[in-house]
Structure 1
Amino acid sequence: MASPFDIDEIYPDDGDHELRLPRRQAGNSPQGVAVTLLADYTLRTRVSLPSAAIVALLGETGVTTAGARTAISRLARRGVLEGSRLGRRSSYRLSRGAAASLSAGAHWILTSTTSTVRWDGCWTVVAFSLPQELSGQRRALRAQLRWLGYAPLYDGLWISPRELNAPARARLDQLTLGAVTVFRGRQAPLGSAIHRAPIEAWDIDAISRSYDAFLRRWTPLLPGVVSGDVDGAAAVRARTEVMDTFRRFPVLDPQLPLELLPEGWLRRPAQELFAAVYDGLAAPAERHVRAVVARFADGTQPGIRAHTTADMLAGVRVEASLAERGHGGAAG
């Protein structure tokens, strides 16, 4: 089984839609870091930030100036960012489509790791067959199924313990042109000892190791977060990294039934640690982002607000009045 950390998309790609969020890579890509930074501090307001400020913030994460400018340019071409100019100076903000997709993705991340819905013992099965010449459509379908929490039990047969909800159904309808059949039911037990259980579509040992690695990486930082010792650029870097790492877990572990998992499953401890670090660093990280932006903007930037786990669960609605009036659009 291919590592879920190498899936094409963490956030959804609507196939033919012009908006294309960055492909997830092994490690942090400049485009991915840029999207995380902008979502973490401007998702609700879609405030424009000076391009020089975005470059400076990316530089604090280790992205070179050339790499940062290239990332911004590519994100604008993808439809993720919208640019504006004032003389020779440029600013960028999240596009409305990107903000909507990122908000939906953020909500999915938290609900997938905090839901307490009991499993009814049934599996949703998606069977599809696409001809070889539609390889691009097949890749898009697989990426969507991963994003929706499915895993391949066999080639062309993907499963999930959760029901196919309306948004998931709409996405599959857009991608498959009638080439998919969906079932929901219980597994029929077989007498043979060699049958494959549906839960085996996921590498449970690998997921467990990923949770353990996450806890070992972030637990030592927690005392510094609580005491306020993590500040400035370090706070922004930590929030970016913890988000970039944690948001992969709903794909690794899409609310897999606890009844089928080893005792002491680490989903909830990981979620609680993520929330403690991400929310605990919100205030110092926001102050630092405001300070960096102020170096390149004319006046204050009221639209910079740290995104929290409460926002993620509630679902962020873009404040059109602030965004569309262009507040914070001073160029850098």
Structure 2
Amino acid sequence: MSSPFDIEEMFPDDGDHPVRLPRRQAGNSPQGLAVTLLADYTLRDLAWLPSAAIAALLAEAQVSQTGARAAISRLVRRGVLEGSRQGRHTFYRLSRSAAADLASGGRWILTATAVPKPWDGCWTLIAFSLPQERGTQRRALRGQLRWLGFAPLYDGLWISPHELTPPDQARLGQVTGTVTVFRGRQADLDTVTNRDPLDAWDIAAIAGHYETFLRRWRPLLPQVSAGQVSGAEAVRARTEVMDTFRRFPTLDPRLPVELLPPGWLREPAREVFAAVYDGLADAAEQHVRAVVARFGGSPHTGIRAHLTTDILAGTVVPATAPSGLLPG
């Protein structure tokens, strides 16, 4: 099983989609950081931010000015950001398409890590056939299957403990390829070649990622509760905890607790994530507003730190931006 930092797309591109959100990769990707920052503080109102403010916030995460400018430019080319120039200043905001994907993705991250319903003992299997020369379509299909919580049991046969919902079916239908879907129970064979469907996931590795996450973030909770984390540190912590936690639904897509080792850490990790992300929201929001004001933007227009409750409720992306949110 690959590391969560090797998963090519948390929001896979189906080939016809108007935006291509950046790849999730090892370390701090400038494009990924920029998207996380804008999603965490401007998603609801599609607020415009001065380019200099975005660069300053990225600089606090050790991204150079050159790296920040390159990241912004690439995100515009991908259709993730859109720009507006006023005098000598340039402003950027999330495009509506990207914002809709991010809102959907954020809700998926939290619902996929919630306590699952009792499992009915059945597996969904997806068999597909695509020639090797159609590598782009194969990658797109695999990306969609990962997104839907599937893992490869064998080459060309992917498995999930959950049924495909109508939205899942529609999403899967966007990908080119010959696909057959089954759902049923495993028939145990009295042979050493019998493979447990759960073997499609590296359970020990997933448990290790949970343990690493908790070791990193649990010690911060007393400082969060005491209000001792503020300013740039609060923004960095919220960005990092989100960027790490968002990988768990792909690693552990609501695998049935009946099949997992005792003391599975999915719920403790989710609780710690919420405590850090929500607990630092006010301090982080104040800092983002101060940075935006420093570079000529309105510090109070459309800048709001999202909470886990906002994400779960589903952010409604406006069809058109209110005039008061335009730069200037």
Query: TM above 0.5, one fold?
Result: yes
* Alpha carbons 2:115, 2:267 under 8 Å: kept: no
* Alpha carbons 1:147, 1:251 under 8 Å: kept: yes
- AA matched with 1:72: I
For 2:231, the equivalent position in structure 1 comes to 232
Deviation at 1:320, TM superposition (A): 4.4
* 1:215-226 pair list within 5 angstroms: 215-226=214-225
Change (3 A) 1:31 1:298: closer
Deviation at 1:3, TM superposition (A): 2.5
Deviation per CA, 1:117-172, whole angstroms, max 9, x where unpaired? Answer: 11110111010010122110001111111111110000000000011111211121
* Alpha carbons 2:112, 2:249 under 8 Å: kept: yes
For 2:287, the equivalent position in structure 1 comes to 288
Which whole-Å CA distance do the structure 1 matches of 2:76 and 2:300 have between them?
Answer: 22
Deviation at 1:113, TM superposition (A): 0.6
Which whole-Å CA distance do the structure 2 matches of 1:44 and 1:232 have between them?
Answer: 22
- AA matched with 1:259: E
For 2:63, the equivalent position in structure 1 comes to 63
Which whole-Å CA distance do the structure 2 matches of 1:110 and 1:260 have between them?
Answer: 21
* Alpha carbons 2:46, 2:94 under 8 Å: kept: yes
Which secondary structure state, in structure 1, belongs to the residue aligned with residue 174 of structure 2?
A: helix
Give the number of equivalent residue pairs: 328
For 2:202, the equivalent position in structure 1 comes to 203
For 2:101, the equivalent position in structure 1 comes to 101
Moved more, 278-287 or 18-27: 18-27
* Alpha carbons 1:149, 1:160 under 8 Å: kept: yes
- AA matched with 2:146: R
Deviation per CA, 1:248-304, whole angstroms, max 9, x where unpaired? Answer: 000000000001100000000000000000000000000000000001125443200
Deviation at 1:319, TM superposition (A): 3.6
- AA matched with 1:205: A
- AA matched with 1:149: G
Change (3 A) 1:298 1:139: closer
Which secondary structure state, in structure 2, belongs to the residue aligned with residue 192 of structure 1?
A: coil
Superposed CA RMSD in Å reads: 1.2
Q: Which runs of 5+ in 1 are unaligned?
A: none
Amino-acid identity (%): 69
* 1:1-332 pair list within 5 angstroms: 1-177=1-177, 179-320=178-319, 323-325=321-323, 327-330=325-328
Moved more, 3-12 or 26-35: 3-12
Deviation per CA, 1:13-38, whole angstroms, max 9, x where unpaired? Answer: 23222300001111120000000000
- AA matched with 1:267: R
Which whole-Å CA distance do the structure 2 matches of 1:297 and 1:192 have between them?
Answer: 70
Moved more, 111-120 or 11-20: 11-20
Deviation per CA, 1:55-91, whole angstroms, max 9, x where unpaired? Answer: 0000001100000010000000000001000122100
Which whole-Å CA distance do the structure 1 matches of 2:106 and 2:141 have between them?
Answer: 21
- AA matched with 1:176: T
Which whole-Å CA distance do the structure 1 matches of 2:188 and 2:146 have between them?
Answer: 26
Change (3 A) 1:116 1:301: same
Moved more, 196-205 or 82-91: 82-91
* Alpha carbons 1:303, 1:328 under 8 Å: kept: no
Which whole-Å CA distance do the structure 1 matches of 2:175 and 2:285 have between them?
Answer: 39
* Alpha carbons 1:45, 1:320 under 8 Å: kept: no
Which whole-Å CA distance do the structure 1 matches of 2:32 and 2:227 have between them?
Answer: 27
Moved more, 218-227 or 310-319: 310-319
* Alpha carbons 1:127, 1:181 under 8 Å: kept: yes
TM-score when scaled to structure 2?
Answer: 0.97
Which whole-Å CA distance do the structure 1 matches of 2:297 and 2:228 have between them?
Answer: 30
Which secondary structure state, in structure 1, belongs to the residue aligned with residue 134 of structure 2?
A: helix
Which whole-Å CA distance do the structure 2 matches of 1:299 and 1:210 have between them?
Answer: 40
Deviation at 1:328, TM superposition (A): 5.0
